[in-house]
Amino acid sequence: MTQIEYKFSEDFAKKMDAEDPMKGFRDRFFFPQVNGKEAIYFCGNSLGLQPKSVKSYLDKELDNWAKLGVDGHFHGENAWYHIRQKSKPALAEIVGAHTHEVVAMNNLTSNLHFLMVSFYQPTKKRNKIIVEAGAFPSDMYMLESQVKFHGLDPDEVIVELNPREGEHTLRTEDILREIENQGDSLALVNMAGIQYYTGQLFDIKSITEAAHNQGAYAGFDLAHAAGNARLKLHEWNVDFATWCSYKYMNSGPGNVSGIFVHERFADRPDLPRFAGWWGYDEGQRFLMEKGFIPMHGADGWQVANSNVLALAAHQASLDIFQEAGIENLRAKSEKLTGYLAFLIEQIGGKSGILEIITPNNPAERGCQLSLHIHRGGKAVFDEWYSQGVVGDWRNPNVIRLAPTPLYNSFLDVYRFGLILEQSLKKFA
C-alpha cells in the first residue's frame, strides 16, 4: 500500500472520500441517530448496520411463503430445499475457500460445539487445547464444557497463552513456541482469528502449520475476522473454522453463522459428528432410512434445515460484498483505520489518557482499534457517545472503535478526531 501523508483536516478527509472507489456503498445502509443526528458508527465489530435492501429480500421470501406454502421448498426462484447454495460463492470468497468447504448454518457457539465433536477426540496422551488467554467468554465456556464432557479437568487440559509482561498482545513466536513445547500432548489449537478485546489478528497460517507439525488440529473462531481481514483458509490448510454474520457481514442481530471444513475431510464419514437430517445426502434424504450418509464437504455437518428468512437477510449483505470485493474493502480498511490511528496518536498520544493496544502493523489487525483508557474510565466512552460516537465499551477499561470500509468514511474519522480533541480537554 502506498504510504499516505495523513492530515487532521476536513479538506483532507473530504479529498480521501472523493477519491474512494468504495464511497457509493455507504448510501446502501441505514445509519442510527444519536441525539437527533446521524451517528458516527464505529461499532461494526459488534453489530453491522442494516443494508437498505434487506426488507426487499425478506419480502420476497415472505411472498413465496404466502403464495406457495410448503411448495416453496421445491418451487419458485429460490427453492428453499437448496437455498443454502446461494450464499456459498460469497462466503467462499470472504474466507478464502472452495464453495463445498463452506455452508451457512446455526449460530457460532453451537457450530463450535458441533465441530469439536469431530476435531477434539482426546486420548490419555494427546488431550491439550491451546487458546489465547482472555478469549471471548462463549469460547471459554464452550471449551470448558467440551473438556468436561470428555471427563477431563479444564485447568489441566486448556493451555491459555498470555502476552509477555507489560505487553497487550501475543507475539507469534511465543504462540509457535508453546505449540512446539506441548508436542504430542497437543490435540487442538482453537484460537480466535482476531482477538475480540485487543483487535490483534493472529498469524493463522503459521499457527496452523505449527499445530499440524505436532499432529494436532487447528480451528479458529472468525467472529471478528470474517468480512474484515484477508483470509485464505483453504490455502492455509486450516482444519475448521466458524464465524457469525451479524458483525462485519451486516446480516442482522443474532443471525446465521457459517462454517468452514477443509476439503480433505469432505468425504470422511468415519469422522465422529452429531448428525441430523439436513446433513444427510440430499439425493437420498427423503428415503428416510437409518444409517447416516453425510453430504460432501461442509454440508455434511448440517443438522437442521435452513432458516430461510435468516438466509434472506444474510444474502442481502453478501450480494453487496460480492459487488464490492473483499480485496477492495480490505485496501480501504487499511487506509481508514490508518487514518484513525494517526488522529488518535496525534491528538491524544501524549495525553496519558488513552493508548492504542491494537498492533500498529496493518497486517496484524483488522479495522478495529482498541483503546486502553488510563484516566476517566467509562466516562470517556459516555462523553463520546453523547457527541454521537457509537463505539463499544469493554470492562475494565477498553473502548473499541471499528471504522468499517463498507459504510464508514474518512469524514467520519475526522469528525471523531474533533470530538476526541474536545474530550481530552475535559479529562486532562
pLDDT recorded at residue 77 = 83
pTM comes to 0.95
pLDDT at 2: 65
**pLDDT < 70 regions, the chain:** 1-2
- Joined together, the cell numbers standing for residue 206 give 503459521
CATH 2.60.40.420 assigned to domain 10-30+327-427? The reply is no
Dihedral sign computed on CA atoms, order 183, 192, 98, 291: positive
DSSP-derived 3-state class of residue 51: strand
Q: Which of 244, 235, 219, 209 is nearest to 96 (CA)?
A: 235
| Residue 376 confidence (pLDDT) | 87
CATH code of domain 58-322: 3.40.640.10
Q: What's the DSSP call for residue 29?
A: B
CA distance 418 to 415: 5
The cell numbers describing 137, all together, are: 467468554
Local structure of 387: helix, strand or coil: coil
pLDDT of residue 220: 98
Which segments of the chain belong to CATH 3.90.1150.10? 10-30+327-427
Specify the pLDDT at position 76: 85
The pLDDT assigned to 426 comes to 84
Chain region(s) in the chain for CATH 3.40.640.10:
58-322
Q: Of 280, 281, 284, whose CA–CA distance to 303 is shortest? A: 280
